[in-house]
Homo-oligomer: A and B are copies of this chain.
Amino acid sequence: MKVAGKHTRSIWVEADGVTVGVIDQTVLPHRFATIRLETLDDAARAIVSMQVRGAPLIGATAAYGICLALRADASDESLERAYAVLRATRPTAINLKWALDEMMAAVRNRPREERVAAAYRRAAEICDEDVAINQAIGGHGLALIEKIAVTKNPRERVNVLTHCNAGWLATVDVGTALAPVYAAHDAGIPLHVWVDETRPRNQGASLTAWELGQHGVPHTVIPDNTGGHLMQHGEVDIAIVGTDRVAANGDVANKIGTYLKALAAKDNNVPFYVALPSPTIDFTVKDGVADIPIEQRSGDEVATMSGKTSDSRIETVRIVPDGSAVANYGFDVTPARLVTGLITERGVVAPSREALAKAFPERSDAAE
């Protein structure tokens, strides 16, 4: 999507044909800076430090991490090590494992001298496939927004609520939860997005607000506490969020706090959709609430906050008393019963074992 009017992806190969470029998402929204990844460790560090984040972009970065590792050493040992290092960067994201497995399949049975070129080819395909999937998600989600728009007066906006960032910054381009938003905005449907700031890392305030603003989509940043009140008073027409992992039963792991918004949507008859590329579905997890592991992250993310000072420095301030404990659960799991539908590249699918298996039989069968 657009940055300062210019079309930009979140990951690319530099002019040298080997170095990988990404946006440093930790300094957004106050600075737009790019980073050059030249080694496996660069790629792993970018994922761990959340310079890149979002399940599809993590997958794409890991894919290129394999490329960079093979450039330095194309042996089986190097490949296995790269797989292990990258796999360990983020435990919850299922796309990470999917992308790594794709890369392994693409290079493992080739002679060493062919591995680097094959790896870059497959990594580029993974990126292009992600964009195509997201465009398909956008099309299916657009149909949902169009249905709401026709019930409104011509000047009335469709109000969308989203949590965290499942926009183009979380993917290679277009986004998942925001794909329908961009499709609707570009199609001329008047719409407005309520952006949950998404504590503790504020990906909503920092990233979603930034990318919507750059693309010209009207939006309002709200504290995570606000969505229930807005839904209670008819100010939200549809909620659309992304996900890090969908279980075989339709339970949805996403950024901590998603479950609370889904409860409020149910209580107020607001449709609650989850947008995802099908690699996000983990058919090996039968019960999401019981079995999806939840990453616990550093308490510093809760105890401190970074932002821009009045003289434009980036400063980190402590917001919790010295001596108070903090806890930082990265995700929660929204039970399938609270989800209206899953917007996938193959259309809107009911969040149930049966519907998912029917929509993705090749993946469901493979997990049996």
A residues near B, CB below 8 A?
Answer: 29-30, 194-195, 197-200, 202, 205-206, 209-210, 212-213, 218-230, 232, 255-257, 259-261, 263-264, 267, 289, 294, 302-310, 314-329, 331-333
**A260-B264 in contact given A309-B315, A332-B232 (Cβ < 8 Å):** yes
**CA A197 – CA B328 in complex, angstroms?**
12
Partner of A306, one of B209, B317, B327: B317
B209 contacts A223, CB within 8 Å? no
Q: A221-B325, A229-B256, A317-B317 are in contact. List 16 more A-B contacts (CB 8 A).
A: A29-B320, A29-B322, A195-B324, A199-B199, A200-B223, A209-B320, A222-B327, A223-B256, A225-B257, A229-B259, A259-B264, A260-B263, A263-B267, A305-B305, A309-B315, A309-B316
B316 contacts A310, CB within 8 Å? yes
For A222, the chain B residues whose CB sits under 8 A away are: 302, 326-329
Complex: chain B residue closest to A198, CB-CB: B225
Interface of A is mostly: mixed
For A29, the chain B residues whose CB sits under 8 A away are: 320-322, 324
A317 contacts B307, CB within 8 Å? yes
Partner of A223, one of B210, B323, B328: B328
Q: How far is the CB of A299 from chain B (nearest CB, A)?
A: 9
